[in-house]
Amino acid sequence: MRRRKHWGWGFEDEQPRAQDLRAMAPLLRDQLGFQAQEVEEPVPLDQVTLPEPRIAAPPALAGICDTSPHARATHAQGKALADIVGALRGSFPNPPDVVARPRDEADVEAVLAWAGDAGARVIPYGGGTSVVGAIEARFPEPAISLDLGALDRVLELDDVSRAARIQAGAAGPRLEAQLAESGMTMRFFPQSFEFSTLGGWVATRAGGHFATLWTHVDDLVESVRAITPAGTWESRRLPGSGAGVSPDRMLLGSEGILGVITEAWVRVQPRPGHRESASVRFPDLLTGAEAVRAIVQARLHPSNCRLIDPQEARFTGAGDGSAALLVLGFEGVDDDPAPLEAAMARARALCAQHGGIADEARAGSAGPGGGEAWKDTFLRAPHLRDMLLQLGVVAETFETAITWERFAAFHAAVTGAAREALGGDGMVTCRLTHAYQDGAAPYFTVLMPARRGEEVEQWWAVKRAASDAIAAAGGTITHHHAVGRDHRPWYDAQRPDPFAAALRAAKAAVDPQGLLNPGVLIDP
């Protein structure tokens, strides 16, 4: 079986050679304007020393528990810059003592009971793709990483109501492959799709690739089942309900503190039968944003409506840096192209009214042009970040959301704060990843030459400045990356105090010993 890298994104056999990385150096100089450094090789796992486990699995659970260095290292943290920097250099400050891989819900219940008896804490683990410190054992008690990866099956498919019951540990490719056998799709593709899981999507209120209409997993969830220390939490499967506070909504975004999500009924649909795509160039991001607003307020509901600023277009190879680029797409579930062609024609007309210059619309799922070049870079971005770090380049992102009437001032304030924190050394780019009738989600990328050994401090200087600017301007600390532990200071200020008290009370009711993921969303 292929093994995940112990220090970064992807599998061990995907790690590029040092000479291949060195070949990237001229491209970095041309695209970023600063020199690459000598390639830094990762510290091999056999040279990493982890602290001895403080607890041992009881005999009844020994068969599902793993204390090997690879298991503990790969479950020690997520994929934020600080995680990658530390692991690259062989540092794993908060490894779990044990990795448990339950085979069924009975195993989940047994692990929670063992944790209560042993004074340990449990971190539900999906694909390990968190970028906000959500799966690190930053607490003094022994830690059990509860890896749901073996619970990965589509259990039922209701083709009448178009819904499927799927286990929480199913990663994106595994989930879609099973649905494809019946000609269906969940149509949910976050950038972390390769490794992230249904349970992780639900727990973090993840956002998918599609830019309008059903953007978050919230829109696709029909019911959720979770195991809590106080019992099973399962909602009734319904198309909608007005019966009080939604039990599903409480689990959506709960980030593992209220229960271990084991399965969910989700809405599915037939696989698309036809697609239309186009790229549109605008003089700048703000002009393009006005066109995006016109498109979504016309309720055209494009599947893709991503606007990339000129710098990002150049860096990703989607443009030459002279224009912002709108990647526009529509898709339908039948073979009749007429509705999509009409929607595309209307969207292109709206773009033209706002100064956009479009290429020829293309039918099908792929084709030449800037949009496809950007898409390829988007899907490879996590791998690229690892390579950039090895070459001495800090690359990291943050995202938010704001209403349209505040967008221009918001973009200026946040970009300005980030660039000031950079001190003129590096770049800040922006794209709109999701668009709504009342606003959009700006997603910022920061690139700067690394000061080896100080990369985390460099990043957090920018991250704090940008996060403070986001909060001051009325945006959200996260649109789809979740809260974890890293966003806590700004999340605590953003949420209403009575709601925080209610969340603490709910936590105490379902997890009275505080076993589940302490430090996430609320204090232990």
CATH superfamily assigned to domain 274-472: FAD-linked oxidase, cap domain/gating helix (3.40.462.40)
Distance CA 188, CA 209 (A): 7
CATH code, residues 12-147: 3.30.43.10
Pick the CATH number of 154-270 from 3.30.465.10, 3.40.50.2300, 3.10.180.10, 1.10.3470.10: 3.30.465.10
Mean residue pLDDT of the chain comes to 94
* 3-state class percentages of the chain: helix first, strand second, coil last, to nearest 5: 35, 20, 40
Is 373's pLDDT higher than 80? no
Go through 81-112 and write b for each residue having 16 or more CB atoms within 10 A of its CB, e for each that does not.
bbbbbbbbebebebbbbbbbbbeebebbbbbb
Please report, as a single letter, which amino acid is at residue 149. Answer: G
The answer to whether 116 touches 515, Cβ cutoff 8 Å, is yes
Is 47's pLDDT higher than 90? yes
Mean pLDDT of 303-326: 93
Q: Strands 121-125 and 143-147, how do they pair? A: parallel
Kindly tell me the sign of the dihedral angle through the C-alpha atoms of 249, 254, 260, 262: positive
What does the DSSP assignment read for 117-171? HHT-EEEEESSS--SSSTT---SSS-EEEEE-TT---EEEEETTTTEEEEETT-B
Distance CA 239, CA 237 (A): 7
- Provide CATH 3.30.43.10 ranges for the chain: 12-147
Of 146, 101, 92, nearest in space to 120 by CA: 146
Say how many CA atoms lie within 13 Å of 88 toward its Cβ: 25
pLDDT score at 57: 97
Q: List the helix and strand counts (H, then E) for the chain.
A: 16, 20
Is 369's pLDDT higher than 50? no
DSSP 37: -
Residue 44 — very low, low, confident or very high, per pLDDT cuts 50/70/90?
Answer: very high
For the segment 134-190, what is each residue's pLDDT rounded down to a tens digit? 999 999 999 999 999 999 999 999 999 999 999 999 999 999 999 999 999 999 999
Mean pLDDT of 467-495: 98
Among 325-339, 457-471, 480-494, which stretch is predicted with the lowest mean pLDDT? 325-339
pLDDT score at 324: 97
- Provide CATH 3.40.462.40 ranges for the chain: 274-472
Q: What percent of the chain has pLDDT over 70?
A: 96
For the segment 223-279, what is each residue's pLDDT rounded down to a tens digit? 999 999 999 999 999 999 999 999 999 999 999 999 999 999 999 999 988 889 999
pLDDT score at 502: 96
- Top mean-pLDDT range of 321-325, 367-371, 422-426: 321-325
Distance CA 415, CA 423 (A): 13
Of 167, 174, 220, nearest in space to 193 by CA: 174
Residue 366 — very low, low, confident or very high, per pLDDT cuts 50/70/90?
Answer: very low
Q: What is the dihedral of CA 6, 7, 12, 18, to 10 degrees?
A: -150
Residue 368 — very low, low, confident or very high, per pLDDT cuts 50/70/90?
Answer: very low
The answer to whether 82 touches 102, Cβ cutoff 8 Å, is no
Residue 367 — very low, low, confident or very high, per pLDDT cuts 50/70/90?
Answer: very low
Distance CA 310, CA 4 (A): 35
Say how many CA atoms lie within 13 Å of 264 toward its Cβ: 30
